[in-house]
Amino acid sequence: MLRDITLGQYYPANSVLHKLDPRTKLAGTMVFIISVFLFHTLPGYAVATLFLAAMIAVSKVPVKFMFKGLKAIVMILMITVVFNMILTPGEVLWKLGFLKVTREGVQLAVRMAIRLTYLVIGSSIMTLTTTPNQLTDGLEKALRPLNKIHVPVHEISMMMSIALRFIPILLEETDKIMKAQIARGADFENGNLIQKAKNMVPLLVPLFISAFRRANDLAMAMEARCYHGGEDRTQMKPLKYAAWDRAAYGILAAYLAVAIAFRVAGI
Amino acid sequence: MSIELKNVTYTYSPGTSYEIHALKDINLMIPDGQFIGVIGHTGSGKSTLIQHLNALIQPTSGTILYNGEDIWAEKYNRKALRSEVGLVFQYPEHQLFESDVLSDVCFGPMNQGLTREEAEVEARKALQQVGFKEKNYGKSPFELSGGQKKRVAIAGVLAMNPKILILDEPTAGLDPKGRDDILDQIAELHKLRGITIILVSHSMEDIAKYVERLIVMNQGEAVFDDTPKAVFAHYQELEFMGLAAPQITYIMHALKEHGLPVDEEATTVEEARGSILSALKEMHSPLFHEEVTGGQENA
């Protein structure tokens, strides 16, 4: 029944990064993000760039997919850059009316732009090489200690994977309902805001009914298979660290050490 | 009133690794008043094809003409087209949303600009023609049975007075009785309103006895486009496409092979019975008997 789902932005490929344990990749992303904020000089960013480029090469994901995520933050990026440039006090480089561009402002703007860009690309590498289900599995295992303070980690991660699983199904359903109503003369495009909201009723009612029905069916199917929550539950494919992961942690530790060293030495 | 498809091609997600050619160079002419069956395996492109007919999907290349006008021309009124070419989707759950049956059927006509009163006249007429009982008009569409929901869904489109009615798998999920009822009702509609009907199905048995023309889709191509009899003659090729001719076709071919001079083009049980009876009569006549035995001696 289900076709190939392209959820999130997972890009299937056969690379070392795809094979890594999701926990390793989560840790790696954290380390990279920390490093981006630790580095604050040109040589530092060069090291980060090198690391990032190496990861992209290893992931075997086409580079254009890496930059896709940037589209979403173009606006934020522009605003950050412009505000940093004109609002930072310091040595004036260029002046237009009350707007002053300072040397310190330009430096800060460039730094922020690099950090934001690297942040997005860094997390893209993780989401492109990890399926959403692997990711929630990894989160569940990594957050397991929180069980001790009564955080329902398993339930949260189960809800997350079910929600993720249902997104493409509901999208497809929305498309079908829209078509069925358009065939009956419904109009989802024209009209003012109130009319538009009213026009959504023929779409939302069947969609909600179908979502509830699906939720009901799923709950029934899970209970029929004796699902009872996280206690003593084992996994079909338990996460296990392999040699790759140990190597990856080694590389990450070295990379983090370099970042800290750069910061301490002030390079 | 005709729909003409010229070299229509449709590709899902072109330029990516998920690229699928759903339709390949389709050429069809659908004149007025025909009762057409479209048949094909799941994924053969039949659903994609019918969504082209009322401009829900724009072809990747090729043109679709309605009454000689290109429906994807810049100024063409596609909303008006959709009320002339009515499309009923497979799942009634995808379109029912109102609190009672009558209001739901009124949705289409009211979108055409009719007042509630005028729409109700059309709705009542349509509901009556699909055999939906008046005492249930006030019920919520969600408490109806599968067959009843389907009738309401068909009425919902029929109330818009389309000139062409397309039904996607109208019998899916129904029991044999409900299936026959719906199909009889559709055939009745064809006679009553004289409109073109396009019936999509993956079951030969279902549509063999109703349609006058059969279009067989396979992997995005219209492989056969002929009368049911002529199409069923290719029953071996149909099987290769994951389709099957009606069981009667197999029986008749087997009988013929075993020397009974039946008409193997019979597609319904009634036709087959007539043909077998007359063949048996013929066989028992002295003239035929000699012929057959004589032939065997020669062999």
Chain A residue with CA closest to B165: the answer is A183
Per-residue pLDDT band for A199 (boundaries 50, 70, 90) equals confident
Q: Does the pLDDT at position B13 exceed 80? A: no
Per-residue pLDDT band for A84 (boundaries 50, 70, 90) equals confident
Backbone angles phi, psi at B131, to 5 degrees: 75, 35
Percent of chain A scoring above 70 in pLDDT:
97
Q: CB-based contact (8 Å) between A189 and chain B?
A: no
Q: CB-based contact (8 Å) between A186 and chain B?
A: yes
Q: Does the pLDDT at position B258 exceed 90? A: no
Beta-sheet pairing, B61-66 with B35-40: unpaired
Average pLDDT on B99-104 reads 94
Q: CB-based contact (8 Å) between B111 and chain A?
A: yes
Out of A65-69, A122-126, B285-289, the most confident range is A122-126
Q: Is residue B30 a part of any domain in this protein?
A: yes
Q: Is residue B22 a part of any domain in this protein?
A: yes
Q: What is the pLDDT at residue B294?
A: 47
Sheet holding B35-40, edge to edge: B85-88, B164-168, B196-201, B35-40, B213-218, B221-226
Q: Does the pLDDT at position B81 exceed 70? A: yes
Q: Please give the Cα distance from A229 to A153 (Å, whole number).
A: 10
Contact B82 A183 (CB under 8 A): yes
Where is pLDDT greater, at A4 or A131? Answer: A131
Q: Please give the Cα distance from A248 to A246 (Å, whole number).
A: 5
Where is pLDDT greater, at B29 or B42? Answer: B29
Q: What is the pLDDT at residue B290?
A: 53
Domain range for residue B33? 3-245
Q: What is the pLDDT at residue B288?
A: 56
Question: What digits encode the pLDDT tens for the residues B218-244?
Answer: 999 999 999 888 888 888 888 888 887
Contact A6 B18 (CB under 8 A): yes
Question: What digits encode the pLDDT tens for the residues B164-207?
Answer: 999 999 888 888 888 888 888 889 889 988 899 999 987 777 78
Q: What is the pLDDT at residue B289?
A: 54
Provide the 10 A C-beta neighbour count for residue A94.
Answer: 13
Q: CB-based contact (8 Å) between B95 and chain A?
A: yes
Number of domains in chain B: 2
Mean pLDDT of chain B: 87
Minimum mean pLDDT range among A175-189, B147-161, B251-265: B251-265
Q: Is residue B149 a part of any domain in this protein?
A: yes
Q: Is residue B198 a part of any domain in this protein?
A: yes
Q: Is residue B297 a part of any domain in this protein?
A: no
Domain containing residue B57: CATH number: 3.40.50.300
Q: Does the pLDDT at position A93 exceed 90? A: no
Contact B89 A209 (CB under 8 A): no
Question: What digits encode the pLDDT tens for the residues A18-67?
Answer: 999 999 999 999 999 999 999 988 889 999 999 999 999 999 888 888 88
Q: CB-based contact (8 Å) between B59 and chain A?
A: no
Contact A185 B79 (CB under 8 A): yes
Query: Contacts of residue A187 in chain B, CB cutoff 8 Å?
Result: 79, 111
Q: What percent of the residues of chain B are helix, what percent strand, and what percent coil, each to the nearest 5?
A: 45, 20, 35
Average pLDDT on B105-129 reads 93
Q: Does the pLDDT at position B55 exceed 70? A: yes
Residues B241 and B256 grouped into a single domain: no
Q: If contacts are CB pairs under 8 Å, which of residues 149-178 in chain A contact chain B?
A: 173, 176-177
Q: Does the pLDDT at position A182 exceed 60? A: yes
A203 to chain B nearest CA, in Å?
8
Chain B residue with CA closest to A179: the answer is B56
Q: What is the pLDDT at residue B287?
A: 62
Suggest the residue from A61, A184, A195, A199 to mutate for an interface test with chain B (most B CBs closer than 10 A).
A184
**Nearest CB partner across the interface for B160, out of A6, A185, A202:** A185
Where is pLDDT greater, at B77 or B287? Answer: B77
Residues B225 and B122 grouped into a single domain: yes
Q: Please give the Cα distance from A212 to A232 (Å, whole number).
A: 29
Average pLDDT on B8-36 reads 86
Contact A6 B95 (CB under 8 A): no
The helix-helix angle for A63-71 and A74-87 (nearest 10°) equals: 60
Q: Does the pLDDT at position B295 exceed 80? A: no
As beta bridge partners, residue B10 has: B23
Q: What is the pLDDT at residue A171?
A: 86
Residues B175 and B266 grouped into a single domain: no
**Nearest CB partner across the interface for B56, out of A183, A201, A206:** A183
Residues B131 and B268 grouped into a single domain: no
B179 to chain A nearest CA, in Å?
22
Per-residue pLDDT band for B286 (boundaries 50, 70, 90) equals low
**Nearest CB partner across the interface for B83, out of A177, A185, A201:** A185
Residues B257 and B141 grouped into a single domain: no
Which single residue is written with the structure tokens 């029912």?
B96
Q: What is the pLDDT at residue B297?
A: 44
Provide the 10 A C-beta neighbour count for residue B103.
Answer: 18
Where is pLDDT greater, at B205 or A261? Answer: A261
B98 to chain A nearest CA, in Å?
8
Q: CB-based contact (8 Å) between B37 and chain A?
A: no
Q: What is the pLDDT at residue B1?
A: 66
Query: Contacts of residue A183 in chain B, CB cutoff 8 Å?
Result: 54, 56, 82, 86-89, 157
A68 to chain B nearest CA, in Å?
15
Q: CB-based contact (8 Å) between A96 and chain B?
A: no
Query: Contacts of residue A181 in chain B, CB cutoff 8 Å?
Result: 95
Picking from A218, A7, A240, the residue whose alpha carbon sits closest to that of residue A127 is A7
Average pLDDT on B93-105 reads 93
Where is pLDDT greater, at B183 or A165? Answer: B183
